[in-house]
Structure 1
Amino acid sequence: MTNLTSSAPHIHGATTYDDLADWGAQPDAIAGASHSTGRLLFKGPGNSPETGIWVCTPGRWKICVPRDEFCHFVAGRARYTAVTGEVTEVEAGTCVVFPAGYEGEAEVIETIRNIYMLA
């Protein structure tokens, strides 16, 4: 069951929910042709907070996180490499907080599914 217009918007089965919108090619591509789909669950006043489901196919691109972002990866594998060289590997079951201003590269190795919240 899904109700995105509820006073408490919700998606049951978010790990397999397939009514996703085409969010297009990943910008700033370095390698591959990553393509994103997703479903916005909620967006507050001034676009904060924002939460939803994001699915992305393999590829690599530059990343710059504009606001604090919490990610719960529920499928796939990816690697995030900060400009400092620090590497964060993610797979199903990994939770990560990317602070505002995080910069580096994202590389999706196996299509990822991420339940996210931007603050």
Structure 2
Amino acid sequence: MPTNLNSSAPHIAGASTWDDDLVDWGGHLEPIDGRSTNRGRLLWKGDADGLPEAGVWESTPGTWRLVLPRDELVHFVSGRATYSADDGEVIEVMAGTVVHFREGWTGTVEVRETIRSVYMLR
């Protein structure tokens, strides 16, 4: 199955292992341990204030603070992490987990094995 990022419907075959053209997105905005870095590839970014946005995202092990300014739907395709909400809820993610984080979600993320996801922000 081919990958075509210039299609009228951009698509990536094998998103869990695809490694072509991933861009270094740097470290997290609020690192706790400072080790974790990001990389990814945009599939789409809207014209109006950059939304919606969809792509592939990868993060290496580490811990950071997360504050989501908008809704985000995430399908994790590899790795393991724990999302701990400020209200005490704990969400364990691994390959096959789908999470809808609502706008305003706050907490910490601890990545134990490099995670990769396909995501959409609105």
If the TM-score is normalised by the length of the shorter chain, which range does it land in?
A: over 0.9
Name the CA distance, whole Å, in 2 between partners of 1:35 and 1:4.
24
User: Which TM-score applies when normalising by structure 1?
Assistant: 0.95
SS in 1 for 2:96: coil
Runs of 5+ unmatched residues, structure 1? none
Does residue 6 (structure 1) correspond to residue 14 (structure 2)? The answer is no
1:4, distance to aligned residue in structure 2 (A):
1.6
Identity among equivalent pairs (%): 57
1:48 Cα deviation (Å)?
1.2
Determine the C-alpha separation between the residues in 1 that align with 2:77 and 2:10. 20
- Deviations 1:38-75 (Å, cap 9, x if unpaired)? 11111112211111100100011110011110000011
User: Can you give the 5+ residue segments of structure 2 that lack an aligned partner in the other structure?
Assistant: none
Q: 1:45 maps to what in 2?
A: 47
Contact 1:4 1:42 in 2 (8 A): no
Alpha-carbon contact 2:26-2:39 (below 8 Å) kept: yes
Aligned residue for 2:35?
A: 33
Match of 1:86 in 2: 89
Give the equivalent residue in structure 2 for 1:96.
99
The alignment covers a number of residue pairs equal to 119
How far has the Cα of 1:32 moved from its partner? 4.2
Instruction: Output the CA distance in 2 between the equivalents of 1:100 and 1:118.
Output: 10
